[in-house]
Amino acid sequence: MPRKTSYISLDPKTPVGRVSLALHDVWGGNQRRMAEDVGVTQSAISQVVRGDKPPGRRLLELVAADTKVNADFVLRGIGGTAAAVSPEVLGGDWMVPVAASILPGHPLRHQSLLTGARLPVATFYRAESRYLLALQPSDPVVRAEGERVAPGDHLLMETDRELWVNNRMVLVGKLVALRLVGVSGIDFVLARADMDPMTRELAFDCFGVGPPAIPAGLPVRPIQMRKKSTPETLAPAESDSAQPVPSLEPAQAIRSEGGLARPALDDVAAFCILLIRT
């Protein structure tokens, strides 16, 4: 059994955090593979992520030079960890299922919400908990200043909740899928996750929904959902012909204030690990 990597920091504002996030997101926590790819020893990577030694300029440049990594992120903390992949360089034999809208959870549990299309992505990124979200012209994120995404782009979404429940810093700086609940029912939106400097809690800038930087983890009052208007279960994956129904996943108390949900960690449905441009 491989040894689990322990991170001293996953803060993208620090060099240590950026190297650690690259190890986590791009190399899946595999120090040996990362060391081989960037041309350093495994002990050099281990010393950085444990906090024993800060990364020097040479290490940062070697990590940034890897084609799987976003160099701007490693060197300056700009953007996401993984490099954007163009269709002409896509390879491998993993055909990823595509969704036109955000899934409530694991793609295998919500097959009726998939489009039926599949696109190839390098087998390095293969995981059954992932799917491609095709951005639509109506998605607010494509009109958001500074996001640099366009209709037709695809986001590789990770739905394995253990990755962020055990360490919320994994979400910082990422595009995330949020479940919002208000007076009109349930909605799933894209948001940019960040750390609120005042509360040190996660904050979400929800594109096209309410005010930005909605803090998570604050005391809020639960509200009751009317069963007829918002069913809490999705048709079984085996019955793909069934009418898609929003799913509450996981089944937690609904958070609301002023008619708009105040998202918390339990409301995260997925986060983006890779942008594929058209």
Percent of the chain scored above 70 by pLDDT?
Answer: 73
The model's confidence at residue 127, banded by pLDDT at 50, 70 and 90, is: confident
Q: Are 73 and 80 in contact (CB under 8 A)?
A: yes
Q: Look at residue 4 in the predicted model and tell me its pLDDT.
A: 60
- Tens-place pLDDT, residues 143-169: 888 888 899 999 999 999 888 887 888
Residue 259 has pLDDT above 80, yes or no: no
Q: Look at residue 145 in the predicted model and tell me its pLDDT.
A: 82
Q: Look at residue 233 in the predicted model and tell me its pLDDT.
A: 38
Q: What is the dihedral of CA 265, 266, 269, 271, to 10 degrees?
A: 20
Q: Are 110 and 234 in contact (CB under 8 A)?
A: yes
Which residues lie below 8 Å from residue 191, measured CB to CB, with a gap of 6+? 175, 176, 177, 178, 204, 205, 206, 207, 209, 263
Q: pTM score > 0.75 for this model? A: no
164: phi then psi, degrees, rounded to nearest 5: -110, -25
Q: Look at residue 184 in the predicted model and tell me its pLDDT.
A: 57
Q: Which residue has the higher pLDDT, 140 or 230?
A: 140
